[in-house]
């Protein structure tokens, strides 16, 4: 059933979207967290009247502004790609996916665009309290705009609150609250947003550490470290908690992704969690299996993660492909059969419309029957794989395994790092610990790596689906030439890399100048 799909077009469209998303997410997290750090600093200024805090707020506001501008530019390009490269997807889910994006646009352009101007240019032109209000509303607006993007992405991972309209061949929103309050959406938002706060905190600490090493702007650096470390430590603890809940949700809604995260091929009770491990480069024929070269496991920890009990059964990739009737797990072939029923029913409905009204009404009644939808339509996307090997639904296990464990390992490292800097900052013991200050600078790239690893895990782990179990990636692309996507891909490589270089140069220049324009 996939003979008419251009594999090259699909791959290049995926590559272009991945490129844009990765670059976009290099700029956004810093603005989400830094906006609140700035608001906290300005609140102290308004309360104390100390000009030191005004100067400090303005400096970090400059760093925020540089990233905000480029984040908006890359974000607009990202959203346009839904129409240019993924028009079939946009049609299939436009009524659902479009609503969060529309709300995001309204919030972003109303809250942020309105109050960010006051925040940057309203100093000494409006009252202190009005300016502070604008700063807080900019921070809130930035974070509220992010929530709608994350809700839309969560729906792709776990489609709920919808109704399929067979006449239009598109999904329509049925329950707005079910979509925005699904466990997947809630955990995704909390985990992503707290990760952004941790990233921002570590960047602020890293820049401040550089000032301490240079013996410049010492008081600003010390105060900034305390605020950022406190803010980041609270966020990091919540990040780990929301990440744990998110992993538990993935186990229930996307079991193949979860099995791939641990490279678990054969299900088991009292399943261990791999703390550290390395996979072989050799791939076996059976379900693209890769064995461990070595691993250190925590007994029963994976079962406990999912079921809060060490006795829970975690299905492996083999179980999910072959099925397990005793445990109620459908095989790949059973899902294909059910998905084929749904696909064929839609085809027959379209053929019978206006020709055989009795058959048309009978078929349409299926798409209005919740039991039929739960039995067949929930596997609609599998109907595209009727002639394919089961391997087609197995994600890249190596990429998932390493992304997951890198993200988790760095997450715990961040908690220790932030706690140490908060303690030493409060005790005023940082200036003489040169090695720790250098460590803070070297730490700055790590939250970016962890952040991108998290998105790779989420998006690669969902493959081959754009909408889990309902719409495969190959059926979502626009009917455009592969060459045009290749050309724009390389154009974006050049433009985005140029933007990144420019952003870094401007940031480094502003950091070098500092709040006193290079003075002590």
- Would 46 be classed as within a structural domain? yes
pLDDT in 10s for each residue of the chain, 520 residues: 444 567 888 889 889 888 888 888 888 899 999 999 999 999 999 999 999 999 999 999 999 988 887 777 777 777 778 778 888 888 888 677 777 777 776 766 676 677 888 888 888 889 999 999 999 998 988 888 888 888 888 988 999 988 888 888 888 888 888 988 999 999 999 999 999 999 999 999 999 999 999 999 999 999 999 999 999 999 999 999 999 999 999 999 999 999 999 999 999 999 999 999 999 888 777 888 888 999 999 999 999 989 888 888 999 999 999 999 889 999 999 999 999 999 999 999 999 988 888 898 999 999 888 899 889 999 999 999 988 889 999 999 999 999 999 999 999 999 999 999 999 999 999 888 899 999 999 999 999 999 999 999 999 999 999 999 999 998 888 888 889 889 989 998 998 899 889 889 999 999 998 886 543 3
- Would 109 be classed as within a structural domain? yes
- Would 37 be classed as within a structural domain? yes
- 243 and 353: one domain? no
| Pairing label, strands 268-269, 313-314 | antiparallel
Tell me what pLDDT residue 3 has: 46
- Would 520 be classed as within a structural domain? no
- 108 and 238: one domain? yes
Q: Nearest Cα to 226, choosing from 211, 238, 208?
A: 208
- 85 and 227: one domain? yes
Q: Tokens 């099925």 appear where? A: 323
- Would 319 be classed as within a structural domain? no
- 35 and 142: one domain? yes
Q: Nearest Cα to 390, choosing from 324, 461, 469, 332?
A: 332
Diameter of the chain measured on Cα atoms = 85
Tell me what pLDDT residue 439 has: 95
- Angle between helix axes 183-214 and 7-48 (nearest 10 degrees) is 60
d(CA 180, CA 479): 31
Tell me what pLDDT residue 2 has: 45
Tell me what pLDDT residue 109 has: 64
108 neighbors 141 (Cβ within 8 angstroms) = yes
- 43 and 133: one domain? yes
- 254 and 272: one domain? no
- Would 460 be classed as within a structural domain? yes
- Would 2 be classed as within a structural domain? no
| Pairing label, strands 465-467, 292-298 | unpaired
**Which value, in Å, is the radius of gyration of the alpha carbons in the chain?**
25
Q: Retrieve residue 449's tokens.
A: 């790596």
- 356 and 380: one domain? yes
- Cβ neighbourhood burial of 51 (10 Å; 0-12, 13-18, 19+): exposed
Kindly report the pTM of this predicted structure. Answer: 0.91
The number of beta carbons lying within 10 Å of the beta carbon of residue 505 is 10
383 neighbors 1 (Cβ within 8 angstroms) = yes
d(CA 485, CA 492): 10
3-state secondary structure of 258: helix
The CA-CA-CA angle for residues 134, 135, 140, to 5°, reads: 95
Which of these three, 354, 371, 391, is where a domain ends? Answer: 391
Q: Nearest Cα to 264, choosing from 194, 229, 221, 313?
A: 313
Write the CB contacts of 439 (distance below 8 Å, at least 6 apart in sequence): none
d(CA 219, CA 520): 10
- Would 321 be classed as within a structural domain? no
d(CA 12, CA 485): 6
The CA-CA-CA angle for residues 53, 54, 56, to 5°, reads: 60
d(CA 39, CA 16): 36
- 93 and 234: one domain? yes
- 222 and 334: one domain? no
Which of these three, 341, 361, 391, is where a domain ends? Answer: 391
323: alpha, beta or left, given left = phi > 0 and alpha = psi -120 to 50? left
302 neighbors 312 (Cβ within 8 angstroms) = no
- Domain hosting residue 357, numbered range: 329-391
- 230 and 285: one domain? no
Number of domains present in the structure of the chain: 3
DSSP letters spanning 416-473: HHHHHHHHHHHTT--TT-HHHHHHHHHHTHHHHHHHHHHHHHHHHTTTTEEETTTEEG
The CA-CA-CA angle for residues 35, 23, 436, to 5°, reads: 60
d(CA 510, CA 62): 8
d(CA 51, CA 54): 5
- 133 and 170: one domain? yes
- 286 and 200: one domain? no
Tell me what pLDDT residue 105 has: 67
């Amino acid at each position: 059933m996939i003979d008419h799909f251009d594999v090259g077009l699909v791959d290049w469209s995926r590559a272009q979207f991945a490129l844009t998303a990765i670059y976009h997410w290099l700029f956004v997290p810093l603005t989400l967290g830094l906006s609140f750090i700035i608001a906290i600093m300005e609140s102290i200024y308004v309360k104390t009247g100390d000009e030191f805090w005004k100067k400090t707020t303005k400096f970090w506001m400059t760093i925020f502004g540089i990233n905000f501008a480029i984040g908006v530019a890359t974000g607009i390009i990202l959203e346009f790609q839904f129409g240019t490269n993924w028009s079939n997807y946009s049609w299939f889910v436009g009524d659902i996916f479009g609503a969060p994006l529309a709300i995001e646009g309204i919030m972003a352009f109303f809250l942020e665009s309105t109050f960010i101007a006051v925040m940057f240019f309203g100093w000494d032109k409006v009252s202190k309290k009005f300016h502070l209000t604008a700063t807080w509303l900019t921070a809130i607006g930035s974070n509220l705009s992010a929530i709608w993007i994350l809700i839309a992405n969560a729906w792709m991972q776990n489609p709920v609150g919808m109704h399929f309209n067979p006449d239009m061949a598109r999904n329509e929103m049925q329950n707005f609250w079910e979509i925005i309050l699904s466990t997947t959406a809630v955990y995704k938002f909390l985990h992503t947003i707290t990760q952004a706060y941790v990233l921002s905190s570590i960047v602020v600490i890293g820049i401040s550490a550089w000032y301490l090493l240079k013996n410049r702007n010492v008081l600003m650096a010390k105060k900034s470290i305390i605020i950022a470390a406190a803010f980041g430590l609270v966020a990091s603890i919540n990040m780990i908690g929301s990440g744990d809940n998110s992993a538990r949700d993935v186990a229930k809604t996307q079991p193949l992704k979860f099995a791939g995260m641990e490279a678990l091929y054969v299900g088991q009770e009292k399943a261990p969690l791999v703390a550290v491990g390395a996979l072989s480069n050799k791939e076996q024929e059976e379900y693209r299996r890769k064995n461990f070269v070595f691993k250190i496991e925590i007994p029963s920890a994976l079962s406990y993660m999912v079921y809060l009990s060490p006795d829970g059964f975690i299905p492996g990739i083999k179980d999910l492909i072959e099925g397990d009737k005793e445990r109620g797990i459908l095989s790949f072939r059973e899902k294909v059969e059910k998905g084929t029923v749904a696909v064929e029913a839609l085809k027959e409905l379209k053929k019978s419309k206006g020709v055989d009204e009795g058959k048309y009404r009978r078929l349409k009644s299926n798409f209005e029957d919740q039991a039929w939808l739960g039995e067949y339509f929930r596997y609609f996307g599998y109907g595209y794989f009727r002639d394919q090997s089961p391997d087609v639904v197995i994600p890249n296990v190596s990429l998932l395994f390493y992304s997951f464990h890198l993200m988790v390992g760095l997450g715990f490292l961040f908690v220790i790092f932030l706690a140490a800097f908060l303690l030493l900052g409060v005790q005023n013991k940082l200036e003489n610990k040169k090695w720790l200050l250098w460590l803070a600078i070297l730490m700055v790239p790590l939250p970016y790596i962890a952040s991108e690893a998290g998105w790779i895990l989420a998006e690669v782990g969902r493959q081959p689906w754009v909408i889990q179990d309902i719409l495969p990636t190959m059926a979502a692309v626009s009917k455009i030439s592969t060459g045009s996507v290749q050309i724009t891909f390389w154009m974006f490589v050049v433009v985005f890399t140029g933007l990144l270089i420019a952003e870094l140069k401007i940031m480094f220049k502003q950091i070098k100048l500092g709040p006193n324009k290079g003075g002590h």
